[in-house]
A and B are shown apart, each in its own frame.
Chain A
Amino acid sequence: MSLSLRRLVALCRKESYQIVRDPSSILIAFVLPVLLLFIYGYGINLDANRVRLGIVQQDGGVEASRLVQTLQASPYIAASLSSSEAAMRQQLQLGSVRGVVILRSDFSAKVRQGQGAAAIQLLTDGAEPNTANFVASYVQGVFQLWQAQRQSGQAEPAGLTLEARYWFNPTTVSRNYLVPGSISVIMTIIGALLTSLVVAREWERGTMEALLSTPVTRAELLLSKIIPYYLLGMAAMSMCVLVATLVMGVPLRGSLWVLFLVTSLFLGSALGLGLLLSTTTRNQFIAAQFALTAAFLPAIMLSGFVFEIRSMPLAVQAVTYLIPARYFVSALQTLFQAGEIWPVLLINLLFLLLSAAFWLGLTAWRTPRRLDGN
């Protein structure tokens, strides 16, 4: 494979003109990422910050009132109080509260007898298990706090107290891990979806035939597609990192050069996949459909970005090992939240490298020099 710098530069320049003049590529590369970042950063919130909790207080005793006060004082709970259980159940059905705590009329009495835990009832909305778990654990936490206070008030030393502490994301803000994850989705869109169109477009418009009748080589053709879109991807990445850290306040604890390395490797496999689809289908519509199913959906569903891989069925877990986004998400979340944890990063880098080599190699092999294949 010979390479002429003049021809390569000419082709890259042509490609950049086309990117700049095509409003849809600018839209996909710069507007869509910002939109997605804000949707994942602010629109989707997996925290149960200030969950709406209904409290049915049927007992006027001191112990019950203390517990209610403790619940109301919690920064994680927005409590509304009622004495009617039926009314609160209705609220739960409507979804205006996420859980209901019921304190029966004999609560204070039972607490004094030492049976407090048995007398408290918590109803949560099982239709949203994630939120239900949050509600349960928050209420549990408050209940323990209340017990601790009660015991310390009685000057009885507590046997054991559990103090929860979250590492890496101490405030457990879901944005901090959703935003790095969404960057992987954005890079997939730019890398695979955008490039899935470019070679097919040349076939559809008949320009590929004209190119192939000039002295261009296979390497020049391939590089002229990879280089401009790699640069576009890196530009979009820089923008995403700036928006994430400066505007959205997501911490970045790893170093920029590792981030650059990880992104480059991931872009390698995304570009390779996009170009391969474009080259083999020679049809923009089909290539884009394939890119959506083969790259975009797995990046969302199987990368561990939203849905935790360990909670997937084993067969699906096995499939995730084939998805480059899986390694990218893991590397990004590590870099943003924890910093350079090399054992984690190295394994991800290794798999990203293999994946990039595989897809780019396959594309190089499938890039034709004639109309009838190779």
Chain B
Amino acid sequence: MEPLNGDDRPHLPPPSLWPVGFAVGVACVLVGLIVDPLVVVPIGVAILLVFGFLWARDATKGYRAPVPDLEPETRRPGREAPPIPAHVGEAAMPEPEPGEIERFPRSKFLEFSTLGLGGVIGGIVTIPILGPMVANPFRHEKHGKLDLGPLSDFPSGQWMIATFMTDPAEGEVTRRTAYIRNNGESNGEPSFTIISNRCAHLGCPVQPNGPVFDNKKKVERTKGAGDVTLIPMLPAGGFGCPCHGGQYNPEGNRTAGPPVRALDRYDYSIVGGHLVLGKTYSVSKVDGTGAQAKIHRYGLANPGNHVDGPEAWLYPLQPPH
């Protein structure tokens, strides 16, 4: 046996896992004292005893039996592998072509599998990112029925500014405004003109060109649309946009400025004597007025998007609303 040069193996007992189990036992007893002393404490005591015995047995091993000499982890010249013969080892490899790194089948395999695995990781991470970030905004949203109150709030021939919430649970952020006129009866059914105040140019809030009777303001609390505010007004000059100067007539047709189509409108129905708003839709233009109006109707489009004419092919698809 050679002397152990520089081998400073510490003369300590080898590591043992038993103390860990012993500690678990202690913890079990302590928890048991709080939780259920009759059941948990005996279990903890049992664990303590078993692991304590094993630990003690392990710790006293050195006194009970001689420790065998461990093979030190030193590298000795005699133990080295024999040199690789020149005709099989690295020396036998052909010199790599200058300017080109030699690839071995194994390194190629590693390269491809690294790239592939990287791609898999990218996919696994990317798909959940794309879900909430990109896909979620395009899911169909539920449209509640927006109850704007009894028909008696809308006198025939009178324009009203109605502000309401499309989702009262979400609060003021869903507040919207519509300009509503009761057109009177048409074929025995009440007829309404309900125009969105979202400018068809870039979505600014259009304003009525005419007196607004703030002193006749009325607030009605409804189930579907939160606080509904109704203000009578007289948009004799139609509607105007404060951003870029778009002008509309009272039917919502563009008369001047940059808007690309008429103002959007709301579907409506009469349920139990109440005016109920439905979905919003886009309008290219309106012929005629009031109950006799012929509305050129399209699916809801983003502001600034043409719905008819040659420019409409720039916007062939609208996301689901």
Are both chains from one complex? no
Binding site for A on B (CB under 8 A): none
